[in-house]
Amino acid sequence: MRILITGAAGMIGRKLTAQLLVDGHLNGKKIAELHLHDIVDAAVVGAHSHVSDLAAAGSAAGLVHIKPDVIFYLAGVVSGEAEANFELGYRVNLDGTRQLFDAIRVAQISPRVVFTSSIAVFGAPFPDVIPDEFHLTPLTSYGTQKMMGEALLADYTRRGFFDGVGIRLPTICVRPGKPNKAASGFFSGIIREPLAGLPAILPVPRDVVHTHASPRSAVNFLIHAAGLDGNSIGPRRNFTLPGVGVSVQEQIDALGRVAGAKAVGLIEERPDATIWAIVKNWPTRFNAKRARDLGFVAERNFDEIIQAHIEDSTK
């Protein structure tokens, strides 16, 4: 079993790498080689590191020479960055994806490809609960690029070039470490910072409802997606994952239950028009029936998400 992770230096990539190294196997098979790729060195003891720009000509072809059985495709620039830098977003999120998919096609290696899409493929207005058959009308360039990646994944799978699974991750919360440029960063910040005794900014109204899953769940989703039977999925290769749909106020209430009123008091409301312009068009709750039927499991409530953060950040 040879595994390739692209975007391995990112938060999810590092957690997935750590989990695979602990497990030592994937889909019941021993991991013989674990290859990490990113535009910066994602070096970890026990894995091979590859540094290149996937969108550059020839880069992806070089990478698929290692003939991975499973590729976790996590590479990409985040929503805020893709919105701020139009050309960079399309270059990395669309051209990079296509270069990798085409390199796989030409190399005829037919791996399982787990593609991380996003709920940013959806755009307002929405029904209260978004069903699996709801159309994709993204209102960000990031969401557009993910939608196009999904389309390619499904067609390349149908053509038999590889065996793809596209999973629309909910917002990952609580993200550890420093804030990144994702417009969704505050959803984590208002929990992570107060838990560490630090102030946090809330840039959107408290009645914003959004769907979350922990980093731990994200890793579980990826590993579960790697092991799915392709025939049981059928031709609709992209679907929305389950998560915890809560309002910002419900997030804050959970923080209060777990960490007390003092932590809650560290949250300062400071409306940000740029973030609001993006977040107001984001989806709220999902049915995610297909993913649940395929065995994907998330947290049951936001208290569990906070507990997962506390456990994972102290171990």
Q: What angle do CA 221, 225, 230 make, to 5 degrees?
A: 160
Query: Is 142 one of the annotated active-site residues of the chain?
Result: yes
Q: How far is the CB of 85 from a copy of itself (least distance, A)?
A: 12
CA distances from residue 192 to 40, 54, 95, 210 in whole angstroms, order as listed? 26, 32, 34, 17
Q: Which of 73, 90, 142, 156 is catalytic?
A: 142
Counting contacts by CB under 8 A, is residue 264 touching a copy of itself? no
**CB distance 202 to 190 below 8 Å:** yes
By the rule CB under 8 A, 135 interacts with a copy of itself:
yes
Which x/- pattern, by CB under 8 A, does the window 211-240 give for a copy of itself?
A: ------------------------xx----
CA of residue 276 relative to chain centroid, distance: 21
Sheet containing strand 33-38, edge to edge, reads 48-51, 33-38, 2-6, 70-73, 112-118, 163-169, 238-240
Residue nearer to a copy of itself on the CB measure, 113 or 136: 136
Q: Please state, in angstroms and rounded to a whole number, the distance separating the CA atoms of residues 285 and 236.
A: 21
Q: Which of 1, 134, 220, 259 binds a copy of itself (CB under 8 A)?
A: 134
Judged by DSSP in three states, 62 sits in: helix
Stretch that binds a copy of itself, among 42-50, 149-157, 188-196, 305-313 (CB under 8 A): 149-157
Asked if 88 touches a copy of itself (CB under 8 A), the answer is: no
Q: Examine residue 56 and tell whether it contacts a copy of itself (CB under 8 A).
A: no
Residue 123 touches a copy of itself, criterion: CB under 8 A:
yes
The residue among 36 and 130 lying less far from a copy of itself, judged by its C-beta, is 130
In the complex, least distance from residue 122 CB atom to a copy of itself, rounded to whole angstroms? 10
Q: Token pair 């994602």 is at which residue?
A: 42
Cα(231)–Cα(294) distance, integer angstroms: 12
Q: State in angstroms the smallest separation of the CB of 86 from a copy of itself.
A: 7
The reply to whether 86 sits near a copy of itself by the rule CB under 8 A is yes
Give every CB contact of residue 312 below 8 A, 6+ residues apart in sequence.
176, 214, 215, 216
Please give the residue ranges that form the binding site for a copy of itself (CB under 8 A). 86, 123, 132-139, 141, 144, 147-148, 151-152, 154-155, 158-159, 235-236
